[in-house]
Amino acid sequence: PAFGLFIFTIARDPLRIIILIAGAFFWLVSLLLSSLIWFIAVKASDPQDERLQKGLLIFGVMFSVLLQEAFRFLYYKLLRKAIEGLVALSEDGCSPISIQQMAYVAGVGFGLMSGAFSMINLLADALGPGTVGIHGDSQLYFLTSAFMTMVLIFLHTFWGILFFHGCEHRRWWEIAAVVIMHLTVSGLSFCNPLYVGSLVPSYLLMVAAAAWAYLLSGGSAQNLRRFLLCKC
């Protein structure tokens, strides 16, 4: 579905593709930094201690979430500057792309990259021989991974919209809500393989975020719909 989003809404406009790739790049950099921190922590600690490793992992995950949100903020700053530049360049004084569209594309960029990194090795292994869950793990591993990845991609998209909107209107509570939601979703994934605990709340959160983002887009929702329908 995320790929469909990409094809239908982003692939037409070159500017959006650039923003998308740049968004993916920012996510990548945040992942890089967070894994650097985790790596250092792991190397500095005792590899035999299971609980410590688990704790470090949790710490790594949380830190990574915070870093991702920080990079989303940086990306927002960059896009603001870019919009000013585009407005100056364009002939009729208004930007060819609005901040909301940018928010959407940035969210998709983040989501696609995160989803790709989560899934692609899994998919490559899935092509090979093997049995799922042979060591007593859940047999639904692939299915749940796929669903979890999808929900995460969508969530990133909505969070992008919410986040940028919060930054635009200086509503700090919106930004805080996004961060808390992200932390919650990641934390819920700790319940795996008790899938009920992680998938269901994640989907609920996603629906809530979707509704919120839709409302925030407000009048532009019709624009989006018109845009999608009339897209040739």
- Please say which residue, 108 or 216, places its beta carbon nearer to another protein: 108
In terms of CB distance, is 39 or 172 closer to another protein?
39
- Write out the chain in H/E/C secondary structure: CHHHHHHHHHCCCHHHHHHHHHHHHHHHHHHHHHHHHHHHHHHHCCCCCHHHHHHHHHHHHHHHHHHHHHHHHHHHHHHHHHHHHHHHHCCCCCCCCCHHHHHHHHHHHHHHHHHHHHHHHHHHHHCCCCCCCCCCCCCCHHHHHHHHHHHHHHHHHHHHHHHHHHHHCCCHHHHHHHHHHHHHHHHHHHHCCCHHHHHHHHHHHHHHHHHHHHHHHCCHHHHHHHHHHHCC
Q: With respect to another protein, which residue has the nearer C-beta, 65 or 162? A: 65
Residue 77, Cβ neighbours under 10 Å: how many?
Answer: 10
* Of 106 and 216, CB closest to another protein: 106
Site string for another protein, 24-63 (x = CB under 8 A): xx--x--xx-xxx-xx--x--------------x--xx--
Tell me, residue by residue from 72 to 111, as one string, x for binding to another protein by CB under 8 A and - for no binding.
Answer: -----------------xxx--------------------
- Minimum CB–partner distance for residue 121 and another protein (Å): 6
CB of 162 to another protein, least distance (A): 19
Give the separation between CA 224 and CA 103, rounded to whole angstroms.
13
Identify which range of 11-19, 72-80, 157-165, 166-174 contacts another protein by CB under 8 A. 11-19
Does the protein bind another protein through residue 204 (CB under 8 A)? no
**Only segment of 2-10, 112-120, 166-174, 224-232 that touches another protein (CB under 8 A):** 112-120
Q: Is there a contact between 9 and 228 (Cβ–Cβ < 8 Å)? A: yes
136 binds another protein (CB under 8 A): no
Confirm or reject binding of residue 184 to another protein (CB under 8 A).
Answer: no
Q: What backbone phi and psi angles, to 5 degrees, belong to 39? A: -60, -45
- Smaller CB separation from another protein, 192 or 217: 192
Residues at the contact surface with another protein, assessed by CB under 8 A: 13-15, 17-18, 21-22, 24-25, 28, 31-32, 34-36, 38-39, 42, 57, 60-61, 64-65, 68, 89-91, 113-114, 116-118, 120-122, 124, 141, 144-145, 148-149, 152, 185-186, 189-190, 192-193
